[in-house]
Amino acid sequence: MTLRRLAQAALALALACPVLAPAAPAWSAPVSTRAVIQPPLPVEDFPPQVERACHIWFDLGWPTNPRPVDFRLPGPEYIRGSNPYGNRSGDLPAGAPYHEYDVNPRPTPTTHRDAERLVRDEATARTWYTFDHYANFREISSGC
């Protein structure tokens, strides 16, 4: 099999298999390398899983812990978060005590986590969504 045909077969498999294919955001994602995307938007303008995650974490009291914690949800599902986010890239405002939270629950604690996260400033409750594991952020202006 030629390299080109192998690449075509791999692409066809990735597109046919939702486990392998990356989830495309329902909202307009930027084409950039690192950015805080403007303007901030209300949670209703983000993909539906973001609003669900905001409700989950609100109901859990936006916990903060020194290490990531898996929280059991009804279903059963698990969602991980509450650990510090260091903002080492400096994309978010400096000096804030940030914590990260998964957006999508998983069926077991050992199931692989995806790239979607919420990052929340513990002091001000400002919250950002990243769909690509901290490469791009967009602030959630209300509803989270």
The mean pLDDT of 38-57, rounded to a whole number, is 97
CATH number for position 60: 3.10.450.30
Q: What is the pLDDT of residues 70-107, one digit of tens each?
A: 999 998 899 999 999 999 999 999 999 999 999 999 99
Residue 65, in any domain of the structure: yes
Within 8 A by CB and 6+ apart from 28, the residues are none
Neighbour-count burial of 36, counting CB atoms closer than 10 A to its CB (0-12 exposed, 13-18 middle, 19+ buried)? middle
Count up the domains in the chain and report the number: 1
Residue 56, in any domain of the structure: yes
Residue 30, in any domain of the structure: no
Residue 5, in any domain of the structure: no
Residue 13, in any domain of the structure: no
Concatenated DSSP letters of 76-136: TEEEEEEEEE--TT--SPTT--EEEEESS-BSSTTSPP-S-EEEEETTT--EEEESSTTSE
**Structural domain range at position 115:** 35-142
Residue 116, in any domain of the structure: yes
